Structure 1
Amino acid sequence: MPRPLLVLRPEPGAESTATAARALGLEPVVAPLFRIAPRRWACPDPAVYAGLLVGSANVVRHGGDGLAVLRGLPVHAVGEATAAAAQATGFAIGSVGSGGLQSVAADLAAGRYLRLAGEAHVPLATPANVTVDTLVIYAAQPLPLSPIAVEAVRAGAVILLHSGEAARYLDAEMHRLGVARESARIAALAPRIAALAGAGWHDVGIASQRSDDAVLALAAEMCQTV
């Protein structure tokens, strides 16, 4: 019998991941650590920008009517899922990354770009001929680690981590609640995310590629490992 898989990402991503996990024969426990909410924002003049940098499909889900003004700009997306969400709402796709938004930013042509982001976002290093302005349009509101999540951790669950923000907050909640972590495992999307989850886990794995499919495949392997 596989270990439970603890899914902490916000909805609707959490249920999407859980559905994919069930198709692999896993037993997901869905307990989001955050609720995504829109922020008020004012749309700048799109004429000064060469394109948009988008690091999450939450930009499209929570950007609101203001996004219509920006639809003439190509989207440089962090990955396939984000690109698909942007394209479905009328945006043209300029490029699609596979190793995080930093790799997308590093390959941009010279010009000025607008980054549409969440309140918690990682700074980007850009080439000398590239300027990036950041506009926050949504925020992740933290939720307490739920009793079902605590039970799963104590049962030796594999915890799926998609973001550094989730890893850092999970570590803080474990300390706040006094939950032992020695029997639980981490399946992280990237090394930085794994590091932010803190120490003391039974095992920590990092996906071979920075993609949802890769980290879920890693989690599936860890769930089957006794």
Structure 2
Amino acid sequence: MTGDLPLVVTRADPGGAATVARAQAADFDARHMPLFAAQALPWVPPDPAGFDALLLTSAQAARFGGAGLTALAALPVWAVGEATAAAARVAGMRVAVIGPGDGQGLVDAMAAQGPARLLWLCGRDRSTFGAPGLAITPLAVYAVDAAPPPSGWDALIAAPAVVMAHSARGATRVAELAGDRRKHLTLLAISASVAAAAGDGWAAKAVAARPDDAAMLAEAAALCHKGR
């Protein structure tokens, strides 16, 4: 419709494709522009007896964990967000707790009421967090690497658009690729820390009220549908 701005989805698939589908169902002019690609890493599951629970901060861990997850099936899963929990269930894992927010928020909750020895199935590139009394052992089971911008990227960001950033790495890469063109682009970030990673010089910045797709699309409505 007149005045609508494209909504540019940059996260890796399959999450990126899912975001595009949700956005298009909500009547956004969503463009599928993944700037990262996820892949499984080789890994060996440790003895589950050495841990009280599994920590999953991304659905990618369940999607790309592979056969090794079977050896850990007896451990309860503490998951960040509904999407991560859903992917864990599909992989045959037992979800005990779904925490809102980010990994640090879930770890804080675990320190107060949960298990003490955590096996964190994570990506090769990850943030760090912790809490007193918890022993967190990270184990990389997947990697999300930068990929060349898809065909049409340069033409798309040459005009005003709303660009989504689902992670700090994603925000940094979008900023690098946009360069001076960010002055006519609006950055829509999943959290305040992600927005900060994108730096300055944008036409506008917006942050979702909660760190999930639904909140990002709610925020995108006012940004994209300006002419309605």
Residue number in structure 1 paired with 2:140: 136
Could you list the runs of 5+ residues in structure 2 that have no partner in the other structure?
none
Structure 1 position 119 matched with structure 2 position 124: yes
Residue number in structure 2 paired with 1:211: 212
The percentage of aligned residue pairs carrying the same residue is 33
CA contact (8 A) 1:24 1:220 kept: no
Task: After TM superposition, give the deviation of residue 110 of structure 1 in Å.
Answer: 4.4
Task: After TM superposition, give the deviation of residue 174 of structure 1 in Å.
Answer: 2.7
Per-residue Cα deviation, 1:152-209 (whole angstroms, up to 9, x for no partner): 222211001111111112222234xxx5111110111000101111211100000011
Cα distance in structure 1, aligned partners of 2:100 and 2:154:
32
Q: TM-score, normalised by structure 1?
A: 0.94
Task: After TM superposition, give the deviation of residue 225 of structure 1 in Å.
Answer: 2.7
Residue number in structure 2 paired with 1:198: 199
Matches within 5 A, 1:66-215: 66-108=68-110, 109-126=114-131, 128-175=132-179, 179-215=180-216
CA contact (8 A) 1:207 1:214 kept: yes
Runs of 4+ with >4 A deviation? none
Q: Work out which of the residue numbers 40, 44, 47 in structure 2 matches 1:45.
A: 47
Cα distance in structure 2, aligned partners of 1:4 and 1:91:
37
Q: CA RMSD in A?
A: 1.3
Q: TM-score, normalised by structure 2?
A: 0.93
CA contact (8 A) 2:165 2:188 kept: yes
Task: After TM superposition, give the deviation of residue 89 of structure 1 in Å.
Answer: 2.0
